[in-house]
Chain A
Amino acid sequence: GQNIDQPTEMTATEGAIVQINCTYQTSGFNGLFWYQQHAGEAPTFLSYNVLDGLEEKGRFSSFLSRSKGYSYLLLKELQMKDSASYLCAVRDSNYQLIWGAGTKLIIKP
């Protein structure tokens, strides 16, 4: 079956760095997405990786290793507003998005 694994919850301190991991087993691979979702709101797009390596966008970076079925989202200089759930999703060979359960990130002052 298809499976996306990411930690259920993480806690970090304001101003620090946090890495959220995502491992996947899917039937085919056509890109990996990271989304941010605040409580009660729809997810918002953060990043897209289809080739191995690191994609950097300001305070957020996303890394992909296709051979290992692994990605991480790196958040730097954490702010209180970064408290949210972070969803990892993989597009499979049928171009369907397979979703992880999300990682709830709690930022403490």
Chain B
Amino acid sequence: GAVVSQHPSRVICKSGTSVKIECRSLDFQATTMFWYRQFPKQSLMLMATSNEGSKATYEQGVEKDKFLINHASLTLSTLTVTSAHPEDSSFYICSALTGGSHTEAFFGQGTRLTVV
């Protein structure tokens, strides 16, 4: 199946700093990528939809200035958590949609962010 690589898998940062998370589709072009956040024992929460070459569409309640999304190419989307705070600590997951008539969503490995 299609492969989506997310990096880093774990990151610990100090409060006030910024962290960039990369999501790459390795063997297909993804015009659409999604960024999710997942709290322990809870479902995936969609943060934003990222479309190549255009601005991301953020879900209600998600601060676009805090969670910067860039989808500069058909194989790469990045999420930057700016001025991170301990409450931003979470599991962040990206997924990418394949194209064609039978589109599927494949997930990256996820990034465990801990802000201290």
Contact = CB atoms under 8 A, between A and B. Distances in A.
B1 A45 contact: yes
Interface stretch (B69-77, B78-86, B104-112): B104-112
Interface string B23-42: 00000000010100000001
Contact of A48 (B44, B49, B102): B102
A45 B46 CA distance: 17
Counting contact residues on chain B (CB < 8 A from A), the size range is 20 to 34
Interface string A14-41: 0000000000000000010101000011
Interface of A: 31, 33, 35, 40-45, 48, 87, 89, 95-97, 99-102
Which 6 A/B pairs are nearest by Cβ-Cβ distance?
A42-B110, A101-B43, A42-B107, A42-B93, A99-B44, A99-B43
Given A42-B6, A48-B104, A97-B34, 6 more contacts: A33-B104, A35-B107, A42-B108, A45-B107, A96-B49, A101-B42
Interface of B: 1, 6, 32, 34, 42-44, 46, 49, 91, 93, 95, 97, 102-110, 112
